[in-house]
């Protein structure tokens, strides 16, 4: 489904943000992308979403390859950024969920309402977005990202600034997406809530791929790259639902 081959990206001002990154993710799988601040995680997510164009190597998503088909990635991939306020554009929940739909698009409106129901936002359909809690805003961003049924969902720090109930609900959404066969890539500092959900792991360090593989292959070396391993794994127990 997704293949990165010696992928690289240079900042417009000069200097590499990513160098020689090679990864593969099959359809329907969930990969966690870890690493300290400045390691290149958000840059990689922007490349996957078609916001940035690679300056080296090759990125393939389904039948599309970048840089040739970079513009088509936006049809296949939905990105949810860390700061919900940067992504929400509409003045109300309904306006944001219906953004870009033609006035007579009954099917699109039905998808938008369906997403509002799925994410518990239907009672807030006409609510001004500034009245939403942080968790509700995060769910609105996810609902909007999934409205047009992308093949890939890319999440940047989905648990940031959420309380425990919010984290638990976000986990349920991610697990439900996985059950529906959606391919997901999630960038996270705290890997604990994702430890039992991820199929594979990748760790970036200074723009390069430092680790990749299964939990058994990656967890023993997470600390070497500034990432705390899951507590259950540190205690020598099996990874269980968080």
Residue by residue, DSSP assigns 147-172 as TT--SEEEEESTTTT--HHHHHHHHH
Q: How many CB atoms lie within 10 A of CB 94?
A: 19
| Closest to 186 measured CA to CA, from 160, 206, 219, 164 | 160
Residue the block writes with tokens 């200074």: 206
Q: pTM of the prediction?
A: 0.94
Residue 240 pLDDT > 80, yes or no? no
Distance from the Cα of residue 65 to its chain's centroid: 20
- The pLDDT of residue 67 is 78
Distance from the Cα of residue 175 to its chain's centroid: 13
- The pLDDT of residue 22 is 98
Distance from the Cα of residue 42 to its chain's centroid: 10
Domains in the chain, CATH or no CATH each: 2-88+150-234 (3.40.50.300)
The mean pLDDT value for 138-159 works out to 96
- 109-136 pLDDT tens trace: 999 999 999 999 999 999 999 999 999 9
């Amino acid at each position: 489904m997704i293949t990165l081959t010696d992928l690289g990206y240079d900042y417009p001002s000069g200097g590499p943000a990513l160098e020689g990154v090679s990864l593969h993710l099959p359809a329907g799988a969930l990969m966690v992308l870890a690493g300290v601040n400045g390691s290149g995680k958000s840059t990689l997510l922007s490349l996957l979403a078609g916001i940035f164009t690679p300056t080296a190597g090759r990125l393939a998503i389904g039948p599309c390859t970048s840089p040739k088909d970079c513009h088509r990635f936006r049809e296949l991939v939905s990105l949810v950024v860390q700061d919900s306020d940067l992504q929400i554009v509409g003045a109300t929940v309904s306006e944001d969920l219906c953004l870009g739909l033609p006035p007579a698009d009954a099917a699109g409106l039905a998808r938008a309402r369906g997403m509002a129901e799925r994410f518990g936002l239907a009672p807030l359909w006409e609510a001004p977005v500034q009245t939403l809690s942080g968790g509700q805003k995060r769910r609105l961003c996810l609902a909007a990202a999934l409205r047009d049924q992308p093949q890939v969902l890319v999440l940047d720090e989905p648990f940031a600034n959420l309380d425990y109930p919010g984290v638990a609900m976000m986990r349920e959404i991610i697990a439900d997406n996985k059950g529906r066969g959606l391919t997901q890539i999630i960038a996270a500092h705290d890997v604990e809530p994702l430890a039992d959900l991820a199929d594979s792991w990748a760790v970036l360090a200074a723009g390069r791929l430092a680790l990749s593989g299964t939990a058994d292959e990656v967890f023993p070396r997470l600390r070497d790259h500034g990432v705390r391993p899951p507590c259950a794994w540190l205690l020598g127990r099996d990874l269980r639902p968080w």
